[in-house]
Each structure stands twice: as structure tokens, then as C-alpha cells.
């Protein structure tokens, strides 16, 4: 298996899809990030961006063989799942991993609820491929395949969420959303996820100026993320889970300010591809 690791962004927004003339450059789909480890495909979150990844897989390969990790089950991170068409093809294999939902009956039950009357016309049983569900506890170390290690940590978000660090072939990519960072103390568990990582993709819904209005909402500012990245010696910081109210011009302003504060920092946009 080749040791190349790559990341492709299919959805970069938080809260709700926001297509329109003001978001064409950065994109309007909600969270979905593909992380390729050699020939293995991992996907982080099933936001509305997952539909386009599904279309790409259906076109190229027909069937899917995917490990899908959910940060949590808020609807902006799950809404794309019923539209992931390759899962409906016989021969597909979809393994869904989630934490924080055991007390609500587990991830299988959460997906069953989403895909049932009166919320959705097609039930989970219509999925033609094999679907596996795994509930885990944030903090556990997961090994979805030989040579791939996924470390996890609990995040500060209403109802809970999970942050991930994928290690493969000498590289590490962290996916940390949704979370409200502290401006004073850096959580040691988050520091460990981000430590020396090749890339850290992180919830930066707000700016520092917007934070006071949103205390307790479970999201962070890009300035807080920059502090974490400095502390953790991150090689590349990637701002993610953009506020739907931030149009392309505002995202340009944030990108410029963040790159000035921490050179090399980038802003996630749909279609962005990074290879290590």
C-alpha cells in the first residue's frame, strides 16, 4: 500500500448549507472531508458535501468502500448521508463510526430515525450495500485498517462531539469540529490531537469579535485556532466549518488576516485538495 496521504474538501460550512452568489468561491455545502490513506478512503462527517463525493465515487468506481467517522450527529453533519448514492449499490461497504449517541440508542438508531417517516421517504433497509455501525467512546484509539490509526478526543460542544487524528505513513491529519476552544487554557487532549500534525482542520466558525455573542454555542474563532496551532507546532492550519453568514469577501478577509497571524494558514473551500 502506498504511504501517500491526501485530503479533499467536499463541504466546509457549518450549521446549514448556504448556496448562492455570495458563497460560490468557498462553497455552500456542510462538513464533509475525504482523507485518503494509500488505497483506503476515510470520510469525516456526512454533511451535504457527501452527496458530491458519492457522485464522484459512483462515476469512478460504482461502489463504495468507506469508513465514515462522524464528529457528532447534529443535522449539518448527517444530512448528506441519505444522498450518498453508492451506498445503495450492492457490493458497497459503509462503516459508520460515532460517539456521544450511546445514550440516545446508538448511531444505528440515530440513522434509522433520520431515514424514516415522516422525515425521509427511504428507509435504511433500502441501502443495498453492507452498512456497519460502531459506537465508540471519545478518547478511544481506533484502527479501521492495518497501518491506519485514528486517535479521538472529546470536544466542547452541546451534546458532545469528537475530534480525530489520523496517522498514516508518517503523517498526521487532525479533524477537530465542532468545538468551543478556551481562550485561556488549551485542553491537553486537543493539544495531543494537533501535536506536530501535517494538517489540522478545525472549527473556526467565528472571529474573536463575534465570539462574545456566541458563548456556549460550541464553536471557536480563527484566532483561538491560531493559538492552538502555535502551541501544538502544527505544520499547516486549515480554517473550517465557516459561518454561513460569512460570504466569500468576508472569507477572503479572514484568510488574509489568519495567514498574516500564522504564515501558511489556509481556509478550506470546496474542492481544495492537499497531498502529503
Q: How far is the CB of 14 from Zn ion (least distance, A)?
A: 4
Nearest residue to the partner Zn ion, using Cβ: 74
CA distance 221 to 114: 30
Residue indicated by cell numbers 502555535: 230
Q: How far is the CB of 193 from Zn ion (least distance, A)?
A: 18
Question: Does residue number 74 form part of the binding site for Zn ion (CB under 5 A)?
Answer: yes
x/- binding map, residues 139-178, to Zn ion, per CB under 5 A? Answer: ---------------------------------------x
Q: How far is the CB of 159 from Zn ion (least distance, A)?
A: 7
Question: Does residue number 244 form part of the binding site for Zn ion (CB under 5 A)?
Answer: no
Q: How far is the CB of 204 from Zn ion (least distance, A)?
A: 12
- Smaller CB distance to Zn ion: residue 97 or 168? 97
Distances (CA, A) of 143 to 32, 35, 138: 21, 15, 14
Angle ∠(77,81,273) on CA atoms, nearest 5: 70
- Smaller CB distance to Zn ion: residue 72 or 165? 72
Q: How far is the CB of 163 from Zn ion (least distance, A)?
A: 13
CA-wise closest residue to 91 among 61, 67, 134: 61
Question: Does residue number 180 form part of the binding site for Zn ion (CB under 5 A)?
Answer: no
Q: How far is the CB of 209 from Zn ion (least distance, A)?
A: 21
- How many residues form the binding site for Zn ion (CB under 5 A)? 4
The backbone torsions φ and ψ at residue 252, rounded to the nearest 5 degrees and listed phi first, read -60, -40
Which residues 6+ apart lie within 8 Å of 146 measured at CB? none
Q: Which range of residues in 1-9, 10-18, 52-60, 187-195 is near Zn ion by CB under 5 A?
A: 10-18
Using CB under 5 A, which of 14, 27, 54, 80 touches Zn ion?
Answer: 14
Print burial letters for 96-132: b (CB count within 10 Å at least 16), e (below 16).
Answer: bbbbbbeeeeebbebbeebbeeeeeeeebeebebebe
E strands, 15-79, are: 32-37, 40-44, 65-70
- Smaller CB distance to Zn ion: residue 8 or 74? 74
Three-state DSSP class for 169? Answer: coil
- Smaller CB distance to Zn ion: residue 88 or 217? 217
- Smaller CB distance to Zn ion: residue 49 or 86? 49
Residue indicated by cell numbers 452541546: 158
Using CB under 5 A, which of 34, 45, 76, 243 touches Zn ion?
Answer: 76
- Smaller CB distance to Zn ion: residue 12 or 57? 12
Q: How far is the CB of 20 from Zn ion (least distance, A)?
A: 19
Residue indicated by cell numbers 485561556: 184
- Smaller CB distance to Zn ion: residue 72 or 167? 72
Given the DSSP bridges, would you call strands 65-70 and 5-11 parallel, antiparallel or unpaired? unpaired
CA distance 155 to 122: 32
Q: How far is the CB of 235 from Zn ion (least distance, A)?
A: 25
Which residues make up the interface to Zn ion (CB under 5 A)? 14, 74, 76, 178
Amino acid at each position: 500500500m502506498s504511504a501517500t496521504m491526501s485530503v479533499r474538501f467536499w463541504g466546509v460550512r457549518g450549521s446549514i448549507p448556504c448556496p448562492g452568489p455570495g458563497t460560490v468561491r468557498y462553497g455552500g455545502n456542510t462538513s464533509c472531508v475525504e482523507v485518503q490513506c494509500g488505497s483506503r478512503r476515510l470520510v469525516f462527517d456526512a454533511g451535504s458535501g457527501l452527496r458530491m463525493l458519492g457522485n464522484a465515487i459512483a462515476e469512478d468506481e460504482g461502489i463504495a468502500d468507506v469508513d465514515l467517522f462522524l464528529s457528532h450527529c447534529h443535522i449539518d453533519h448527517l444530512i448528506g448521508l441519505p444522498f450518498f448514492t453508492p451506498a445503495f449499490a450492492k457490493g458497497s461497504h459503509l462503516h459508520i463510526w460515532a460517539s456521544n449517541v450511546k445514550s440516545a440508542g446508538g448511531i444505528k438508531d440515530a440513522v434509522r430515525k433520520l431515514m424514516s417517516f415522516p422525515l425521509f421517504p427511504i428507509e435504511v433497509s433500502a441501502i443495498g450495500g453492507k452498512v456497519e455501525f460502531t459506537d465508540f467512546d471519545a478518547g478511544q484509539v481506533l484502527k479501521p485498517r492495518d497501518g491506519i490509526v485514528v486517535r479521538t478526543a472529546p470536544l466542547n460542544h452541546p451534546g458532545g462531539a469528537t475530534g480525530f487524528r489520523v496517522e498514516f505513513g508518517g503523517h498526521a491529519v487532525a479533524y477537530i469540529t465542532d468545538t468551543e476552544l478556551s481562550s485561556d487554557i488549551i485542553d491537553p487532549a486537543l493539544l495531543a490531537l494537533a501535536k506536530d500534525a501535517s494538517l489540522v482542520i478545525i472549527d473556526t466558525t467565528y472571529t474573536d469579535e463575534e465570539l462574545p455573542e456566541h458563548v456556549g454555542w460550541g464553536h471557536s474563532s480563527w484566532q483561538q485556532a491560531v493559538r492552538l496551532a502555535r502551541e501544538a507546532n502544527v505544520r499547516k492550519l486549515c480554517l473550517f466549518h465557516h459561518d454561513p453568514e460569512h460570504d466569500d469577501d468576508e472569507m477572503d478577509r479572514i484568510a488574509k488576516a489568519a495567514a498574516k497571524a500564522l504564515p501558511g494558514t489556509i481556509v478550506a473551500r470546496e474542492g481544495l485538495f492537499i497531498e502529503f
